[in-house]
Amino acid sequence: METTLHRQLKALYAGPDARLEERIADFRIDAVCGTRLVEIQHGSLAAIRTKIGRLLESHDVLVVKPLVVRKQLVRLTKRGGKEVSRRLSPRLRGLLDLAHALVYFTRVFPHPRLMLQAPLVEVEERRYPGHGRRRRWRRNDYVVEDQRLLAVTGVHQFQAAADLLSLLPADLPDPFHSGHVADGLGIRRWIAQRIVYCLRQTGAAETCGKSGNTLLYKKAA
């Protein structure tokens, strides 16, 4: 079921003259804007990897991957019921979440016909209690009724492999390893390793040696 958030983003990117929900090459396309196809993808980019790869054979494609940076959680009594409470989600997200998505999309990106945009969005998520036997409201004991767009606070655009270098901290040594990335961004090492993996797979960075058992990298020329 299409969420309000998806419809809002589709309208934002499509414009008044676009053709919506059109079928091309056996795929349903969110919007066709002139010669460009627009796909809004909230979930994993892996889910549309094959689809986008096929479409790129003959079309220019814009993939929009919204990243939620602020979420208002609205608790309802039931589906379509009254609002009980409202609070901010404690989990903060941002541009680095794109690294998690790109891990499974490097076989498609980069491509001369592909543009990837990551709008940073604030959303409202409306929830109601799940249908289990638990009587109290507990973590994960809910159903999402809808999500709505509140604001777009920024947009990051990626078309070439080198654009992904913006995910790195500005003061990296040369060469660098994933530990440097983790320290520079204040993130866990395994997340930094995902970022470095994406850079290596897309050609934005390349291995240039080792420090002990740790691989060293340099930005590609």
**123 and 42 within one domain:** yes
**142 and 174 within one domain:** no
**Dihedral (CA of 113, 119, 125, 130) sign:** positive
What pTM was computed for the model?
Answer: 0.88
| Domain end position, chosen among 138, 159, 180 | 159
Q: Are strands 67-76 and 114-129 parallel, antiparallel or unpaired?
A: parallel
**123 and 57 within one domain:** yes
**121 and 71 within one domain:** yes
Domain with residue 182: its CATH number is: 1.10.10.10
**130 and 46 within one domain:** yes
**137 and 58 within one domain:** yes
Domain that holds residue 108: 4-159
Fill in the amino acid letter for 81: G
pLDDT at 140: 63
| Domain end position, chosen among 159, 181, 209 | 159
DSSP 16-84: TTPEEEEEETTEEEEEEETTEEEEE--S-GGGGHHHHHHHTTTSEEEEE--EEEEEEEEEESSTT--EE
Fill in the amino acid letter for 96: L
**64 and 104 within one domain:** yes
Whether the Cβ atoms of residue 98 and residue 118 lie closer than 8 Å to each other: yes
pLDDT at 25: 86
pLDDT at 98: 86
Write out the two tokens for 70. Answer: 């602020």
Q: What is the pLDDT along the chain (221 residues), one digit of tens a residue?
A: 789 999 999 999 988 889 999 999 889 999 999 889 999 999 889 999 999 999 999 999 999 999 999 999 999 999 989 999 999 988 777 778 888 889 989 999 999 999 999 999 999 999 999 865 455 545 567 899 999 999 999 999 999 999 999 999 989 999 999 999 999 999 999 999 999 999 999 999 999 999 989 999 999 97
Query: Cα-flanking dihedrals φ and ψ of residue 193, to 5°?
Result: -65, -35
Beta-bridge mates of residue 126: 74, 146
Structural domains of the chain, count: 2
**198 and 130 within one domain:** no
Write out the two tokens for 201. Answer: 């797979």
Q: Which of 68, 63, 67, 66 is nearest to 109 (CA)?
A: 63
**178 and 134 within one domain:** no
